[in-house]
Structure 1
Amino acid sequence: MTPGPIPERVAAFRRRYRAEHVGPRYSGRAHFAFTSLGALGVILLVSARLEAVRPLEWLTVPVVFLLGNAVEFLGHRGPMHHRRKGLGLLFRRHTEQHHRFFTHEALSYESSQDVKVVLFPPVLLVFFLGAVAAPVGVLTFLLSTRNVGWLFVASSVGYYLTYEWLHFCHHLPAEHPVARLRLMGWLRRHHQVHHDPSKMSRWNFNITFPLADEWCGTRWRSGISDARASGRETR
């Protein structure tokens, strides 16, 4: 899919969104830096508490990675694309805003202020750490070992950061050197298909690596006909 001119409907929505939701004091660079440095700081701080990690304890890292991939898939396929009671903000921010700001015809951001439509709000990192990573880390520490608890926190925050970084890369300008890397180009095309309005509620829900999409049969392939896709959608 070769980028072309931004369709007028998308350009109009972008102008309206920026006017209504991006204040003059917002900085996309500061947003990216807070997310990155905050998450990296937690990972380094937690990793420094590890002591003589045993091989079995290291398995926490891939287990958390696979769990994170499944949660990412389920959250994206579920409340981010279908209204759920109490989770309407997720649907509104993702389907009604993000998917109208970025389509398969206009996947790239135009300025650093557009980062607000790509990354999660900065407060979500604090919420994720306080409401998810830390409590579950304490639970794993109580049920297993101290190292497993620390590794859970480091790995879960690491997955959160991986999600944010890769999603940011998917929306880089197509000519950016990072976007032109072979792996990034493949992941970007995977995400670009998802931003096609005719496919977004059925295909390519993984933002990071399409493991759950492959497992659940929701990874789009060019050989899949529209009729087959529609048939699956109505089942």
Structure 2
Amino acid sequence: MKNNKKLQEYRQSYRADFIGRHYNGWLHLAFTVSASLAVIAYSLLQLKEPTWYQWLTVPLAFVYTNLMEYWGHRGPMHNRRKWLGGVYQRHTLRHHRFFRHDVMAYGDSRDFHAVLFPPVLVVFFLLLTVVPSALLVYWLLGANVAWLYAATVFGYFLNYELLHFGYHMDKDSWVGRLPGMATLRRLHTRHHDPRLMQCYNFNITYPIGDWLFGTLYRTDRNTESVRAC
């Protein structure tokens, strides 16, 4: 009870300190979805008779982005870095305090602020990560592969945001009852246990990186028996 009271007090302070008076959670969600779909659609419209082997870009870029998700989460999102302190602060010090393994659901649409990437980070993601890497792919492998790469990366980003949003909805909602959602939500919920978050389940979407690097926490054993981080 004491811990729940502290969590609710933090939620109230977060809402007062970090969420602007004019913030609209549904507009935030709409921006994330529409901006991502616009980039995906534009990229796909640039394709010019792609060959079958160029389409292999999609699964390769999917795995690559999954591993970037893993290392980004395990690295700067959970460990303070000199030039990325804001990422650590927003994720570990705020998001993990707002959502705990036993209180995972947001309250109302203003709490979307604590779930979704800020619009400025979406633009940052586009300009400072996707554009340079897509230009490198273009230089090495040509225009079709570069456009498929960009579409896949942004498709993955949108998938990431929607899945993560779903994990923080009520587990009995229609989203929570979608096939596979209960399993993925359970993995993320375990990550939000303060005793596990520095060691396990760093993939927010599909646990490819966690499986490869031995950080997938899968059992239903009592977390008291988990080895110390």
Please state how far the C-alpha of 1:227 moved relative to its aligned partner: 4.8
Unaligned runs of at least 5 residues, structure 2: none
User: Which of 196, 199, 204 is 1:199 aligned to?
Assistant: 196
Question: TM-score if structure 1 supplies the norm length?
Answer: 0.92
Runs of 4+ in 1 over 4 A off after TM superposition: 223-228
- Determine what percentage of the aligned residue pairs are the same residue: 43
Relative distance call for 1:186 and 1:228 in structure 2 (3 A) is: closer
Partner of 1:229: 227
1:119 equivalenced with 2:116 (yes/no) = yes
Q: 1:34, 1:229 → 2: CA distance?
A: 41
1:95 equivalenced with 2:95 (yes/no) = no
Alignment-mate amino acid for residue 47 of structure 1: L
User: Which of 142, 162, 171 is 2:139 aligned to?
Assistant: 142
Residues 187 and 218 in structure 2, CA contact (< 8 A), matched pair in contact too: no
Give secondary structure in 1 for the equivalent of 2:180.
Answer: helix
Task: Write out aligned runs for 1:161-172 (5 A).
Answer: 161-172=158-169
Please state how far the C-alpha of 1:221 moved relative to its aligned partner: 2.4
Alignment-mate amino acid for residue 34 of structure 1: F
Partner of 1:68: 65
Please state how far the C-alpha of 1:223 moved relative to its aligned partner: 5.8
Q: 2:224, 2:5 → 1: CA distance?
A: 26
Instruction: Give the total of aligned pairs.
Output: 227
More off after superposition, 111-120 vs 131-140? 131-140
Give secondary structure in 1 for the equivalent of 2:211.
Answer: helix
Q: 1:75, 1:137 → 2: CA distance?
A: 19
Please state how far the C-alpha of 1:182 moved relative to its aligned partner: 3.3
1:50 equivalenced with 2:47 (yes/no) = yes
More off after superposition, 26-35 vs 6-15? 6-15
Partner of 2:148: 151
Please state how far the C-alpha of 1:90 moved relative to its aligned partner: 0.9
Alignment-mate amino acid for residue 153 of structure 1: A
Cα deviation code 1:74-99 (max 9, x no counterpart) = 11111111111111111110111000
Partner of 2:212: 215
Partner of 2:37: 40
Partner of 1:130: 127
Give secondary structure in 2 for the equivalent of 1:182.
Answer: coil
Cα deviation code 1:35-74 (max 9, x no counterpart) = 1000101100110010111111111111111111111111
Partner of 1:177: 174
Alignment-mate amino acid for residue 188 of structure 2: H
Question: TM-score if structure 2 supplies the norm length?
Answer: 0.95
User: Which of 23, 27, 41 is 1:26 aligned to?
Assistant: 23
Partner of 1:186: 183
Please state how far the C-alpha of 1:200 moved relative to its aligned partner: 0.4
Q: 2:135, 2:56 → 1: CA distance?
A: 17
Relative distance call for 1:107 and 1:56 in structure 2 (3 A) is: same
Alignment-mate amino acid for residue 97 of structure 1: R
Q: 2:129, 2:83 → 1: CA distance?
A: 18
Please state how far the C-alpha of 1:170 moved relative to its aligned partner: 0.7
Please state how far the C-alpha of 1:222 moved relative to its aligned partner: 2.2
